[in-house]
């Protein structure tokens, strides 16, 4: 129970007859108690940019004071001249429940209002220094009205979690030398209500079908595209107004927690998209919150994003740094997220990102790097890994900025992983080519290994690749129907056997034919057709292979785990490579035949004698392939090839990949 100060405050109130609600001195209609949740140390940390649990202080918090249940409100608005809470409880009266500014010049307004509890709808009414009258949603609101309505809702994040077993083993499931296969999901369009396709399923309803599906597919993690509150659905959640609120389109915070809880109980990790790069200019949101550029940078050369017509956080302002890092901590703390995928990192790192000459301001050393954003990202990573050492942060970063996934103490940004955007672009460009011409472009597949170990890379086939006229993955593939499906199975096998962790956007796993549409469900009916069933079965088998073969994850980010055997057979468009385990007996050989011509009796060099067994073939009949399989174990013979003392004779299927593992020697 919070202690009362024992004093009532005489509030300024607004006479409706006064011009536009200008406050006049009067006794408030319903007194606001001047209590505080802030200590002097809290204020010190906040002003230094070091308070990383602001959600425990700012926002709305139901509290009992002297036996009466009410809600404490606190909001940062240093340039406001008047601030009140408005809502259904007071008829949206601008003058009846004004908050008091703290005495310490922190810019925080606060107060406790009796008889206001969970479920109350509210906003902040603000009069700015230049006389603007603003109605703003709470930046720290835990829940919001369903768009297009914009008010905040008094709520809490109490939930009885049942994922203790997962939290105990999360360190093992989330470590960098574990198999990490991520299913990227947009919850609003993964599946809709079959009886009413316009209706979003609730988080709880989604859990009933998503959890068993992901488990059956064999993915180790899901990545949820932004589930924070956003007013504009076509932004897919990337233009956020409620950073501490889950999207009310699909239910309550507790229902989202239920979804995470169910995934955890099924042994599936949950990464969440996080967007500290920009926010929209909606009137009720963060934009010019107290009539000034409070959260964004005042100068549009640093504070306005030309690509997205949105606003860039002022990373040099300490209070904004506390807001952002607290938000990262919040989703890991209150929602048990196992990691954060940080969106648009490149746009944060460079002052000239998407800007022409003269449209940006160099840093203090004359360079193009945004030193304040770099500092924020480093501090965020240190903060979250200190508090939650068994999570992962993953950067969507598309440039050659050095050390994105290297520790802060050696000069890196401190992320756990980075999306390998170059690999994704090169791979898709290669596979889009007619196989007849691939022999002249083999370097597009081999080039990634030049830099594959410069970062801890995650290989993504993400949502960005299947929208805006780019075609679905299956329709990027050349050839007739059989060849398109064979190409897709081959490309997925290449991804799963290439160094790095994996990410696949929903729909790709069964060969969705249309581009992704955020307004409708995936085309689940396609699974009635054999080619789509085959792709799905292939992905299930690849996830199983990935998790069972340590050569595919022991050295995900190290040269020690990879060796080219042959990159020179351009004429046949064949690539051969080895993946290596900490146990040499578990090493694998992978051969890719990137044309529709079967390669019979194809010779592959191996280092030592022994027998090899094919353990995966993307051309298997159950996947929809032609069934050219190496059924029998293949024994190496003393025939030098590819610079190796021994070699194998294999049949390589058309547009297919084979994976072989050495059999242990037979006991005598």
Given the residues 138, 319, 343, 455, the one annotated as active site = 343
User: Is residue 139 within 8 Å of residue 58, measured between CB atoms?
Assistant: yes
Look at residues 73, 78, 39, 47 and name the one whose alpha carbon lies nearest to residue 59: 73
User: Is residue 86 within 8 Å of residue 97, measured between CB atoms?
Assistant: yes
Q: Angle at CA 496, nearest 5°, toward 454 and 440?
A: 75
Count the Cβ atoms, other than its own, within 10 Å of residue 169: 12
Statement: 228-252+268-419 belongs to CATH 3.40.50.2300: no
Query: What letter would DSSP give residue 348?
Result: H
First to last CA, the chain: 76
Look at residues 92, 79, 100 and name the one whose alpha carbon lies nearest to residue 31: 100
User: Is residue 449 within 8 Å of residue 500, measured between CB atoms?
Assistant: no
Helix, coil or strand: residue 122:
strand
Check for a shared fold between 228-252+268-419 and 559-662.
no
What does the alpha-carbon distance between residue 577 and residue 536 come to, in Å, rounded to a whole number?
25
Count the Cβ atoms, other than its own, within 10 Å of residue 463: 20
- Distances from the Cα of 221 to the Cαs of 150, 175, 272, in angstroms? 32, 12, 10
Please name the helix (run of DSSP H) or strand (run of DSSP E) that holds residue 387, with its range, or none.
helix 371-387
Q: Which tokens go with 348? A: 């944060």
Radius of gyration, CA atoms only, the chain: 28
What does the alpha-carbon distance between residue 615 and residue 601 come to, in Å, rounded to a whole number?
18
pLDDT in tens, 251-263: 999 999 999 999 9
Q: What is the reported pLDDT for 615?
A: 98
What does the alpha-carbon distance between residue 28 and residue 249 come to, in Å, rounded to a whole number?
36
pLDDT in tens, 361-378: 999 999 999 999 999 999
**CB-count burial class (<10 Å; 0-12, 13-18, 19+) for 294:** buried
- Is residue 359 flagged as an active site residue? no
Count the Cβ atoms, other than its own, within 10 Å of residue 483: 17
pLDDT in tens, 494-530: 999 999 999 999 999 999 999 999 999 999 999 999 9
Task: Give the list of residues 6+ apart from residue 632 with CB closer than 8 angstroms, or none.
Answer: none
Fold type of domain 40-154: Immunoglobulin-like (2.60.40)
Positive/negative CA dihedral, 177, 426, 189, 347: positive
What does the alpha-carbon distance between residue 61 and residue 57 come to, in Å, rounded to a whole number?
8
What does the alpha-carbon distance between residue 161 and residue 374 come to, in Å, rounded to a whole number?
35
pLDDT in tens, 305-326: 999 999 999 999 999 999 999 9
Task: Give the list of residues 6+ apart from residue 643 with CB closer than 8 angstroms, or none.
Answer: 605
- Is residue 307 flagged as an active site residue? no
Given the residues 396, 509, 549, 554, the one annotated as active site = 396
Query: Which residue do the tokens 């025939």 mark?
Result: 639
Q: Produce one character per residue of 211-240: b if its CB has 16 or more CB atoms within 10 Å, e if not.
A: beebeebbbbbbbbbbbbbbbeeebbbbbb
Q: What is the reported pLDDT for 15?
A: 40
User: Is residue 539 within 8 Å of residue 556, measured between CB atoms?
Assistant: no
User: Is residue 412 within 8 Å of residue 403, measured between CB atoms?
Assistant: yes
46: alpha, beta or left? (left if phi > 0; alpha if psi -120 to 50): alpha
Write down the pTM of the prediction: 0.94
User: Is residue 364 within 8 Å of residue 393, measured between CB atoms?
Assistant: no
Count the Cβ atoms, other than its own, within 10 Å of residue 357: 6
Q: Tell me the domain boundaries of the chain.
A: 40-154, 228-252+268-419, 559-662
pLDDT beneath 50, residues of the chain: 1-29
Q: Which residues pair with 311 in a beta bridge?
A: 279, 304
Domain 559-662 has what CATH class? Answer: mainly beta
The torsion defined by the Cα of 178, 181, 182 and 183, in degrees rounded to 10, comes to -150
Helix, coil or strand: residue 262:
helix
Q: What phi and psi, each to the nearest 5 degrees, are found at residue 98?
A: -85, 145
């Amino acid at each position: 129970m919070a202690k009362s100060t024992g004093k009532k405050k005489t509030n300024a109130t607004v006479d409706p007859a006064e011009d536009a609600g200008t406050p006049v001195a009067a006794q408030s209609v319903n007194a606001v108690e001047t209590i505080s949740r802030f200590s002097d140390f809290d204020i010190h940390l906040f002003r230094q940019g070091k308070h990383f649990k602001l959600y425990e202080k700012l926002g709305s918090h139901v509290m009992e004071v002297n036996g009466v249940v009410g809600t404490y409100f606190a909001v940062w608005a240093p340039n406001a001249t008047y601030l009140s809470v408005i809502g259904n409880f007071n008829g949206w009266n601008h003058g009846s429940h004004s908050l008091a500014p703290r005495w310490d010049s922190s810019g925080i307004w606060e107060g406790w209002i009796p008889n206001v509890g969970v479920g109350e709808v509210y906003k902040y009414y603000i009069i700015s220094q230049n006389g603007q009258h603003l109605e703003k949603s709470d930046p720290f609101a835990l829940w919001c009205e369903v768009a297009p309505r914009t008010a905040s809702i008094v709520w809490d994040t109490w939930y009885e979690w049942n994922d203790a077993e997962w939290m105990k083993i999360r360190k093992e499931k989330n470590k960098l030398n574990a198999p990490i296969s991520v299913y990227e999901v947009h919850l609003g369009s993964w599946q809709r209500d079959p009886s009413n396709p316009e209706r979003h399923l609730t988080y709880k309803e989604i859990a009933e079908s998503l959890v068993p599906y992901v488990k059956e597919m064999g993915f180790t993690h899901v990545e949820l595209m932004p589930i924070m509150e956003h007013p504009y659905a076509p932004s897919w959640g990337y233009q956020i107004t409620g950073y501490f609120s889950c999207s009310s389109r699909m239910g309550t915070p507790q229902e989202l927690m239920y979804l995470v809880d169910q995934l955890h109980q099924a042994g599936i990790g949950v990464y969440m998209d996080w967007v500290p790069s920009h926010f929209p200019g909606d009137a009720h949101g963060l934009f010019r919150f107290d009539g000034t550029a409070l959260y964004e940078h005042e100068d549009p050369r640093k504070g306005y994003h030309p690509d997205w017509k949105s606003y860039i956080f002022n990373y040099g302002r300490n209070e904004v740094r506390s807001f952002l890092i607290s938000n990262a901590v919040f989703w890991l703390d209150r929602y048990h997220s196992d990691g954060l995928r940080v969106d648009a990192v490149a746009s944060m790192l460079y002052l000239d990102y998407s800007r022409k000459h003269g449209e940006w301001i160099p840093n203090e050393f004359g360079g193009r790097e945004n030193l304040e954003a770099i500092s924020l990202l480093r501090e965020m990573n240190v903060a979250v890994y200190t508090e939650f050492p068994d999570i992962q942060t993953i950067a969507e970063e598309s440039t050659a900025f050095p050390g994105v996934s290297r520790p802060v103490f050696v000069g890196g940004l401190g992320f756990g992983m980075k999306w390998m955007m170059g690999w994704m672009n090169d791979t898709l460009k290669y596979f889009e080519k007619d196989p007849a011409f691939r022999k002249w472009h083999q370097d597009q597949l081999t080039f990634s290994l030049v830099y594959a170990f410069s970062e801890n890379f995650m290989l993504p086939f993400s949502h960005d690749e299947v929208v805006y006229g780019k075609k679905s993955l299956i329709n990027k593939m050349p050839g007739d129907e059989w060849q398109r499906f064979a190409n897709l199975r081959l490309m997925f096998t290449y991804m799963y056997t290439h160094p790095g962790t994996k990410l696949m956007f929903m729909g790709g796993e069964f060969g969705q034919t249309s581009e992704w549409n955020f307004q409708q469900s995936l085309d689940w009916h396609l699974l009635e057709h054999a080619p789509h069933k085959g792709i799905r079965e292939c992905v299930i088998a690849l996830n199983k292979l990935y998790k069972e073969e340590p050569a595919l994850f022991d050295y995900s980010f190290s040269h020690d785990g990879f060796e080219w055997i042959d990159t020179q057979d351009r004429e046949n468009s064949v690539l051969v490579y080895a993946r290596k385990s900490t146990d040499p007996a578990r090493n694998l050989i992978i051969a890719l035949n990137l044309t529709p011509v079967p390669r019979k009796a194809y010779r592959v060099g191996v280092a030592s004698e022994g027998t090899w067994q094919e353990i995966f073939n993307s051309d298997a009949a159950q996947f929809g392939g032609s069934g050219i399989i190496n059924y029998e174990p293949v024994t190496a013979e003393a025939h030098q090839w590819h610079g190796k003392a021994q070699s194998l004779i294999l049949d390589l299927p058309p547009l297919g990949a084979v994976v072989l593992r050495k059999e242990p020697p037979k006991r005598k």
